[in-house]
Amino acid sequence: MTCTSETLRIIEKAAQGDVTGREEIVRLLELDAPEELDALFRAADRMRKACVGDEIFLRGIIEFSGYCSRNCHYCGLRAQNREVVRYRIPEDEIVARAHGLWERQCTTVVLQSGEDRFYDRERMCSLIRRIKAETDLAITLSIGERSLEDYRAFKEAGADRYLLRHETANAGLYRKLHPGYELEDRIQCLRWLKGLGYEVGSGCIVGLPGQTVHDLADDVLLIRALDIDMIGVGPFIPHPGTPLRDAPAGSTDLVLKMLAVLRLLTRDTNIPATTALGVLDPGARRNAFLAGANVFMPNFTPVRYMELYEIYPGKGPEAGTIAKASEGGYVALFEGMGRTIGRGCGYREKKACPREPGSCAGGAA
């Protein structure tokens, strides 16, 4: 089967920034013919090269607390999961781990946790200030919903970025999966963060029970509307300690299509190849870098804690084909793909990306 002219037309429109409608995004997400998928991924890869270049930026994650006050139906860290072993890494150990990131070519530390109120404004600001004073790292926080005053204090203490995935743009599905919480509150947090000058990351889970491809198109539109700087998209992985334990896992192929569409429609954003991809499919994480991704987030949580941060099963030190990333194994992989390790902190430049007439048709097999 050859790539149809209608498919190429929509891909070309996306590459020109002219796709804004829900139905055209759905059409791209429903592509399944190999020739059509090849055209989509090639177009996204060209857009990646034109807008963010061949560098892959490393952002080292430290999962510093396994406590969470929320009961999200898909997450193994949910408060009502009595089987999980909770932990908090001492501040000195977190800072020491941050020191080691620079030696491994990581220029950003991602401080990630459940929504753990033990880490109040004072404790978080202390940690942020120490890392800023003792290293040259950019600091990304991923600690959930907080007050506007907290976000302002963290920014003043030295935080540079904030990751807060919206998870799904379907308000009813969000409410069902996050009992007691509303999507609009999450979106308000993202607006606050943008207003305070953070680089803001968000994104969604692909394959949530009850989710449709139209919901995913709405995720794309929401990400564009909020002008998100970093976009994390990964597959749903059922956890045995959650109400969704028996639900099927999400599709890695659909995740790759989402990454490609998001690269075409957001152009100069930073898009990671997520860990969850490698858990479900050893080859999918590499394929993400061929479908528009330009960020890799190796896990630098001390090993004795790493397996305890089980937001989904299989997320351990040996997950995925780039499993030994914390030992530097990613360098050879990226070089083999013609990519280099980014030496800067990888901020979104928001430069004018070139429009390339006919670029998508040229990528058809």
The residue with tokens 């959650």 is 242
Domain range enclosing 22: 7-342
Q: Is residue 245 part of a domain?
A: yes
Residue 361 lies in a domain: no
Q: Is residue 356 a part of any domain in this protein?
A: no
Q: In whole angstroms, how far apart are CA 122 and each of 92, 151, 153, 161, 250?
A: 16, 12, 9, 18, 39
pLDDT for the residue numbered 323: 40
Residue 350 lies in a domain: no
177 domain residue, yes or no? yes
- What's the confidence (pLDDT) of residue 324? 47
In contact, 132 and 139? CB cutoff 8 Å: yes
Which residues in the chain come in under a pLDDT of 50? 318-327, 357-365
Encode pLDDT of 90-114 as tens digits. Answer: 999 999 999 999 888 899 999 999 9
Question: Is 353 within a domain?
Answer: no
Residue 165 included in any domain: yes
Q: What is the pLDDT of residues 324-359, one digit of tens each?
A: 444 456 777 888 889 999 989 999 987 677 765 444
Sign of CA dihedral 323, 325, 326, 328: positive
Number of structural domains the chain divides into = 1
Domain CATH for 271: 3.20.20.70
pTM of the model: 0.93
Q: Is residue 2 part of a domain?
A: no
